[in-house]
């Protein structure tokens, strides 16, 4: 409930909030569902709701995002969880909750298990997102884990409380550091105590592997190869709300897609890095993860080399986020300091620098039969490794006209030698910037010096 406050109530010393609008979002385990959907997963949900207005609203929201609710059971004596926040002048002044916290009935347990047992082969992976509201009883958790193991399906658990025996036999748990300390009784303060806690979880809960999320220190995992740490990649932290939901959702998404546990941990760290830069219970998309990873320059150079179709998609996404797109092009045959300074200045004009790279055939047309010295694949890989360059796109035409037309950059950058000349594609760009080259630095001169050395 969003509004403003301009007076105190005459009935009691409390603020009077004039409600201007209401917004409703999926929270709790619903935030895990939301993250899976935005990542592109097909999702089914199991759980218990009440026979009430909140339950109807929840079902409607789930159906709207395409979630299968066949295993969502209605139990008449329960309240569907709803947390209401009153926000005045962008500050929360009150929250009131409506929910049931007692254990669900055995009838509800049987109803859920009956649906899941018949549908288990439809799933790639199962997430148990425990928010301590009485739904994940030991009989339900163990029933799901047992059935999943029989069908060779992995179960990932975001646990609650200190009694983890009900999660016995899961593939892995994702407690945070505080939760792991409380559950294991081990004070995690260095690599030795982290390993002890991970081993305790693996042994006591009979896990395939164990994991602990370590906030700003990333993720710690123990499997047959020992302890591994995966550092966080967050640049800015605005709000950690829902970060745990994003971690388990992205882990499940990655593992179900065939990634190794190491790859999945890195992927979930990237996803968490995106959501902590947002306000409130946030979700993440694959586009956001790809763009974020690219901006960190921690990915392989190949991840920055894009096709025409890929760059079109990326440009649309970046522009929707308000990013200023810069484009330049060239042969970039033997990379030298002049190239690097030119690209660094080009990047300074915006947020995303896209470099159009002449193919080998087009370089031969421009420079003659002895060029290029380096192949287009090699040139693209080296360019993509530069911090200033976000994406590289190879083109085979004599000019990048079609590429500039598609990208429609905010800034088109060319060399200072184009002063007074017509520049291809300017009609599609917001503005043209000319950058002076570094005196005495060029691929042609570099080749000449090499040839002179060979003659000596």
Tell me the C-alpha distance between 389 and 12, whole Å: 60
Q: Residue 65: helix, strand or coil by DSSP?
A: coil
Tell me the C-alpha distance between 193 and 181, whole Å: 10
Cβ atoms within 10 Å, residue 119: 14
Torsion angle of alpha carbons 289, 292, 297, 303, nearest 10°? 40
Give residues with Cβ within 8 angstroms of 311, minimum separation 6.
354, 391, 393, 403, 406, 407
Half-sphere exposure of 6 (CA within 13 A, CB side): 4
- Give me the catalytic one of 111, 158, 245, 333: 245
Residue 229 in tokens: 């740490």
- Residues 391/315, Cβ–Cβ less than 8 Å: no
The distance from CA 359 to its chain's CA centroid, rounded to whole angstroms, is: 33
- Residues 14/8, Cβ–Cβ less than 8 Å: yes
Q: Is 245 part of the annotated catalytic residue set? A: yes
The distance from CA 34 to its chain's CA centroid, rounded to whole angstroms, is: 13
The dihedral of CA 301, 302, 305, 310: what is its sign?
negative
Tell me the C-alpha distance between 177 and 192, whole Å: 14
- Residues 274/243, Cβ–Cβ less than 8 Å: no
Element (DSSP H or E) covering residue 214: none
Tell me the C-alpha distance between 157 and 173, whole Å: 5
The two counts, helices (H) then strands (E), for the chain are 15, 17
- Residues 220/259, Cβ–Cβ less than 8 Å: no
Element (DSSP H or E) covering residue 21: strand 15-21
Residues involved in catalysis: 245
């Amino acid at each position: 409930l969003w509004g403003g406050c301009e007076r105190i109530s005459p009935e009691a010393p409390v603020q009077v909030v004039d409600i201007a609008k209401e917004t409703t979002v999926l929270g709790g385990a619903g935030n895990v569902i939301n993250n899976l959907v935005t990542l592109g997963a097909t999702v089914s949900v199991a759980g218990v709701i009440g026979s009430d207005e909140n339950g109807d609203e929840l079902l409607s929201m789930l159906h709207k995002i395409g979630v299968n609710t066949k295993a969502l059971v209605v139990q008449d004596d329960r309240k569907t969880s709803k947390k209401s926040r009153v926000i005045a002048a962008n500050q929360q002044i009150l929250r009131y909750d409506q929910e049931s916290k007692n254990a669900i009935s055995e009838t509800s347990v049987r109803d859920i298990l009956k649906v899941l047992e018949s549908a288990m082969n439809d799933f790639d992976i199962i997430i148990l997102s425990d928010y301590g509201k009485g739904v994940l009883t030991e009989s339900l958790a163990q029933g799901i884990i047992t059935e999943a193991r029989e069908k060779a399906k992995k179960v990932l658990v975001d646990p609650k409380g200190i009694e983890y025996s009900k999660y016995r036999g899961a593939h892995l748990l994702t407690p945070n550091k505080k939760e792991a300390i409380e559950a294991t009784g081990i004070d995690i303060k260095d690599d030795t105590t982290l390993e002890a806690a991970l081993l305790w979880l693996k042994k006591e809960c009979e896990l395939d592997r164990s994991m602990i999320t370590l906030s700003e220190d990333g993720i710690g995992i123990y499997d047959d190869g020992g302890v591994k740490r995966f550092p966080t990649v967050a640049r800015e932290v605005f709000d950690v709300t829902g970060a745990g939901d994003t971690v388990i959702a992205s882990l499940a998404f990655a593992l179900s897609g065939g990634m190794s546990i190491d790859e999945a941990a890195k992927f979930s760290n990237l996803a968490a890095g995106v959501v902590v830069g947002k306000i409130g219970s946030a979700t993440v998309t694959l586009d956001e993860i790809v763009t974020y990873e690219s901006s960190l320059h921690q990915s392989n150079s190949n991840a920055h080399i894009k096709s025409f179709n890929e760059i079109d998609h990326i440009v649309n996404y970046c522009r929707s986020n308000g990013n200023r797109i810069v484009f330049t092009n060239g042969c970039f045959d033997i990379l030298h300091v002049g190239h690097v300074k030119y690209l660094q200045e080009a990047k300074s004009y915006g947020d995303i620098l896209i470099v159009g790279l002449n193919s080998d055939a087009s370089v031969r047309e421009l420079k003659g039969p002895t060029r290029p010295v380096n192949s287009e694949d090699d040139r693209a890989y080296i360019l993509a490794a530069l911090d200033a360059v976000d994406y590289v796109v190879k083109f085979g035409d004599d000019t990048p006209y079609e590429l500039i037309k598609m990208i429609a950059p905010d800034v088109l950058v060319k060399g200072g030698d184009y002063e007074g000349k017509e520049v291809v594609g300017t009609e599609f760009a917001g503005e043209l910037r000319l950058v002076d080259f570094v005196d005495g630095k060029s691929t042609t001169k570099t080749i000449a010096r090499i040839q002179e050395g060979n003659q000596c």
